[in-house]
């Protein structure tokens, strides 16, 4: 017997053990900021913007290039007659002549003036680069909010699942109690059937809630680019808080105008839109440069010879200026100016539209947060009332002064109150984070 026991223990230890992985909210946000596809692509595109700015600075510098050449040709002459002055004709012999030449040189050019287009291009590229950086920062804030929202949805579903599990246990106890009382003859068989049906409904609701929990968790893992087949357990960041102090969350949201001003100062997408307008105005300057003359300088230094040993016996140094004055460009310059001005007008309108959107977003989200707070306060009171009602009806049923339907209805009311409180609590958290994101206060650097 002892040998069998030892063998069983060895086999049990040999079985693979798949430990459930813990996942905190901070870890989830950090993973999202590392693996988000859109963020990775945006960072890659930022390299192109940096390269374009470098190229714009390079247009101020002189260009320099080196060249080298070699040529060879052979002339075949089959001979004949050559007539000289006076009509004298002399025969010529067949001949073959080889010619070779070598050349080496350096040269380049520099733009001295082009209507300030080169400086405007630098300003435009700098604005575009900074705007791209702001867009990435805004994307990171959105990732923090989206990850948090996914996380809350899973926690919400998990708490609802726990409520359903407690509900199944409650109706199991009730069913067993009703069965026993029916056996003693104190209640009818109809009460047994009613409690049995309610137990079955509770078990079905539990299965449905479990499916919702697993689906929401899979959605979170997919957003984080994690393996959805692995078993993760989320760590509740609010587990240490016994009660939710909504007033402490509301202390930073007293003045809507102050929140709007903070958003216009903090939001990265608004700063990006401002830079887009500045870049568009630089584009107008670039287009207008076509109305001005352009001046460029050219320079070269070279040598050529028929043999390599004589290459530097004859050297040529050349410096020149080239002035180009636009007189008529078939209206192409006017078209470019008009196109750039339209872009600037559209960029300004985009900025104004974004400002209006920010105001609406903050006002609406603030009202949603206030409504969520009131909903949570009411739901909390309803839970206490529904719990007390269920206890009273349970005691009355035990004493025979209430029916099984009174107990079942009170239990359903209590379950509804619990679910409403859980949903209201997480909705308050979501609206709070949404408002912070609308103001531009969501922190992301600590998760990177």
DSSP-based three-state secondary structure for 88: coil
pLDDT value of position 19: 60
pLDDT value of position 13: 42
What is the signed CA dihedral for 138, 139, 145, 150, rounded to 10 degrees? 170
The answer for residues whose C-beta is within 8 angstroms of residue 146's C-beta and 6 or more apart is 32, 223
pLDDT value of position 86: 64
Rounded to an integer, what distance in angstroms lies between the CA atom of residue 85 and that of residue 279? Answer: 76
Strand ranges for 261-393 from DSSP E:
294-305, 315-324
Q: What is the pTM of this model?
A: 0.84
- CA separation, residue 204 to residues 172, 195, 413, 421 (Å): 13, 14, 18, 22
Q: Residue 232: which H helix or E strand, with range? A: strand 232-234
DSSP 8-state assignment for residue 401 = S
Considering only CA atoms, which of 59, 152, 40 is closest in space to residue 111? 59
Token output for 439: 């103001």
pLDDT value of position 8: 44
pLDDT value of position 2: 45
Could you say which residues of the chain have pLDDT below 70?
1-19, 82-87, 242
Rounded to an integer, what distance in angstroms lies between the CA atom of residue 207 and that of residue 155? Answer: 17
pLDDT value of position 59: 92
Write down the residue that tokens 């679910």 correspond to: 419
- CA separation, residue 159 to residues 164, 170, 172, 234, 240 (Å): 9, 16, 20, 12, 15
As a 3-state breakdown, the chain gives helix, strand, coil percent values, each rounded to 5, of 65, 15, 15
């Amino acid at each position: 017997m002892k040998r069998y026991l030892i063998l069983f223990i060895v086999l049990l230890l040999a079985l693979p053990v798949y430990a459930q992985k813990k996942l905190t909210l901070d870890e989830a946000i950090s993973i999202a900021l590392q693996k988000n596809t859109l963020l990775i692509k945006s960072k890659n595109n930022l390299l192109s913007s940096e390269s374009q700015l470098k190229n714009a600075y390079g247009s101020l510098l002189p260009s320099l290039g080196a060249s080298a050449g070699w040529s060879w040709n052979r002339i075949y002459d089959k001979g004949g007659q050559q007539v000289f002055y006076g009509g004298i004709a002399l025969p010529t012999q067949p001949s073959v002549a080889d010619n070779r030449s070598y050349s080496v040189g350096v040269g380049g050019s520099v733009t001295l003036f082009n209507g300030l287009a080169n400086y405007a291009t630098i300003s435009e590229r700098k604005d575009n680069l900074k705007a791209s950086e702001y867009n990435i920062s805004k994307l990171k804030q959105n990732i923090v909010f989206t990850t948090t929202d996914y996380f809350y949805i899973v926690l919400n579903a998990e708490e609802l699942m726990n409520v359903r599990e407690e509900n199944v246990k409650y109706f199991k106890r009730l069913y067993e109690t009703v069965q026993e009382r029916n056996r003693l003859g104190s209640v009818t068989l109809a009460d047994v059937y009613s409690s049995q049906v309610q137990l079955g409904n509770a078990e079905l609701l539990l299965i449905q809630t479990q499916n919702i929990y697993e689906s929401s968790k899979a959605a979170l893992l997919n957003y984080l680019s994690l393996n959805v087949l692995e078993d993760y357990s989320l760590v509740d960041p609010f587990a240490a808080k016994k009660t939710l102090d909504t007033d402490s969350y509301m202390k930073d949201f007293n003045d809507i105008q102050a929140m709007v001003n903070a958003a216009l100062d903090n939001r990265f997408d608004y700063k990006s839109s401002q830079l887009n307008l500045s870049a568009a105005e630089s584009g107008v300057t670039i287009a207008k440069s076509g109305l001005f003359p352009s001046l460029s300088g050219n320079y070269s230094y070279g040598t050529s010879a028929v043999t390599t040993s004589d290459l530097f016996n004859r050297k040529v140094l050349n410096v020149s200026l080239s002035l180009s004055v636009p007189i008529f460009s078939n209206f192409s310059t006017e078209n470019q100016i008009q196109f750039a001005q339209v872009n600037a007008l559209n960029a300004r309108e985009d900025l104004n539209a974004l400002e209006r959107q920010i105001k609406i977003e903050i006002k609406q989200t603030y009202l949603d947060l206030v409504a969520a707070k009131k909903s949570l306060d009411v739901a909390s009171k309803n839970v206490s009332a529904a719990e007390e009602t269920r206890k009273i009806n349970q005691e009355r049923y035990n004493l025979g002064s209430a029916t099984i339907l009174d107990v079942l209805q009170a239990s359903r009311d209590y379950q509804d109150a619990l679910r409403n409180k859980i949903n209201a609590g997480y909705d308050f958290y979501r609206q709070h984070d949404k408002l912070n994101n609308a103001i531009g206060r969501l922190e992301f650097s600590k998760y990177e």
